[in-house]
Structure 1
Amino acid sequence: MNRLDVLFWLLAMLPALAGAVDVECRWGYTAPDKTQVLLESTMPIPHRILSLDQPDRVVIDLPGARLTGQLPPPRTDDAILIGIRAGLRRADELRLVLDLKGPARVKSFSLQGSGGAKHRIVVELIPQNPTQGNALQVSIQAQSSPAALEVRSSRRRTALIAIDAGHGGEDPGAVGPNGLREKDVTLAIARKLARLIDREPGMRALMIRDADRYIGLPERPSLARDHKADLFVSIHADAYSDPNARGSSVYTLGTGAASSEMASSVAEHENGSERVLLVEPNGRDALLDAVLHEMTRNATLEHSDTAAAAILRQLKRAGVVHRGEVQHAGFVVLKSTDLPSLLVEAAFISNTEEERLLATDAYQQLIAQAILAGIKDYLNAHPPQGLSPIPDTPRGPREQGLPLRSAGRSAPGRTREHVISQGDTLSAIAKRYQVSLSSLRAENGLDETDVIHVGQVIAIPTDS
């Protein structure tokens, strides 16, 4: 352990001995060339700062501290700062995350209070010229002396989205009741998503596999990192012992127990026999490496969850989702410490009805469009370093007129659709739109069981 770490951890012990110190966060001086964030407390506290890119953000850790009052609201006219988030990194350590609009030089210094005045940590953000070099420089110092961090960014560029089609080659993945193979579905959706991304200004796709071949799970995110991807999206089709399980899901890496029994089952299936590989220290001070590793990993998990939530919102707009929140489990393919990563389960291939949907081009396109809309939401809210703006386009699949069910025929000129709500029945819908029940079934590929689900979009025929 070097002297800097010894000093930091000794200082970190002091507030813990006296109980948690209340910290208030508020805006300081703001100008076109500088933004200040003030952290005020009744006694001195140590802090660590880490500056990260892809997307640009500043992480501030305050051992022995707790937040009091509300975080200052975001200011749309600020030159560099998007907003501030807060949470507990551990039970006795406060973490603040400053989301940035672009690369910045970051400085921090302390002002000791006297005569009843509060102690302050001043964090300054100075917009950095995005054309200055390609090197990333990070320095971390303890509260005992002013800390200065500098990030130099790459030139303006497009966002690179890594698309991982699950399974492949000798690994077919799950197989549906009628023989549909997961590896074929995931590749079809991945190709559609790649085509959509490549048509978007400011975005381009990286296919992890574009053929029927198998790639080891740890190698998949490694390929994305080698190409400096901004986001890793792994596409799969769910399978479960209950044949009635249905809907789309979105997962991120779980650091503890899986968020549900099904999440654990899905992770076990997708991981197969692969073993989890751990990142080894790179020869520098082991404690500092561990701190940097954990900080980077935690910040990456935050952005993985943010991107996953954006995609899940768009999947909800498109149709049925299995769970209304992002799920977490120990997926090997998501174990990347420096790349926001998530996994999309398009539907349950073990469900006969959803297996039929997964085999159709229209449903595959629907899922691809929902994923694209979510990715754009995420990138616009948290643009990676040096990213060119992504123009707004229609917000999701529903606005583009694609029904969730597309297995049946489509009448020429059809424009009407109906979104299933609680209490709806197929016969009531047929009566409402003055069409026959048989034509409604035929239009949507339904059998005489008339099974429909909340959130499902059905097509209304123009004649009966």
Structure 2
Amino acid sequence: MKNNYYKIKSWLLLSLTLLSFSTVAANQVQSVRVWPSPDNTRVVFDMSAAPEHKSFSLDKPDRLVIDLSNIKGGSSLPEISGESALIKAIRSSGDANSMRIVLDLAKQSNANVFTLPPTPPYGHRLVVDLPDNQPVQNLPPPAIRAARDIVIAIDAGHGGEDPGSIGPSGFYEKNITLPIAKQLAQLINNQPGMKAMMVRTNDYYIHVNRRTEIARGQQADLLVSIHADAFTTPQPRGASVWVLSLRRATSEVGRMLEQTERHSELLGGVAEIIKDSANERYLAQTVLDLSMNHSMITAYQAANEVLQELGKVAYLHKKEPQAASLGVLKAPDIPSILVEVGFISNPKEERQLRSSAYQTKLAQSLFTALKRHYEKSAPADSLFAQQRAREHKVSAGESLSLLAQRYNVSVDDLRNINQLANDSIRVGQTLRIP
């Protein structure tokens, strides 16, 4: 009897050991996804369990090597989706319990390898970020002209590995924000005096800090970030517009003051006067404070215009601009607004947001609002400001021929542009000057 007891105990211990080993060794690479962007490539290995890994880089030729342990038997990777100019090939080898993955690189890159826990719709992931050390540079900032274009940076929220919120039908937020952003950019580029620049142009991931840097690099007059809201229950609905909170703006100014190497970028031409930022910190802070105040006022005014137009095509969740400490709004030197076009977690609004016709209405409402905002408050050196300045309010004693002589234009041109039947004008009348 005693011998049987020990036999059973030994069998149970062996079974548990084998089960434990089987569980530990059950990890597997389920898929490989490559997400390229202009200055970074992200490679994602979807795993069936939390990965155990080590990695190192080699040169001549440039390679990144990743060793996975406790991996299910087999040395081949599943089919790879996506490609990047930075990666020549992804190959693998291994034995029953381990796998070595080698990324052959076109040039050296300081790889960052890390794991991510499950976040719907993804499970465990091993992520490789490969920054492009010599990326294609951003387009040069718009040249300063007598009458420049107003530059609107359009940020399509989320992208690539980051799907954003997910609707009841499984639709991703990133697939709503990008088409709206593209349509808005087209409307802006068709408007003389306005120019759009897309923060991301396709389905790839950009870190939130990088988004504001891209806008700053293009000397954007306004950053518009497009998102779709979500909640834990399906009831909430409607659009809203968010601006930077004063507390977040103040802390960002303080952080910028500590980064003395970036003062020339943040202070613009004034940096040529403020030579010693350490001794003249108070002056630098004054300039940044003024910039912050201007940005927050501009953003609030633009947000109100956007809400007014959005309310014509969508239900408003909040009828006033909301202040928040959101990362994409953090630049106190760039007026920034975040537009939540609706709740993707609401089944009815998800269906609307997926509709291309509704996306067009949203893009048109955003454009109308931004255009009206800059018609009211145009930068002094912009074409919008010049066009607004070419108006004349008629005073007593003035005639059409006198005004034609003063502005060096013909009477016929004055008459035509103002749709006048004759040369008669009245005091107080506003005339457009060609």
Q: Which has the higher helix share?
A: 2
TM-score, with normalisation over the residues of structure 1? Answer: 0.46
TM-score, with normalisation over the residues of structure 2? Answer: 0.49
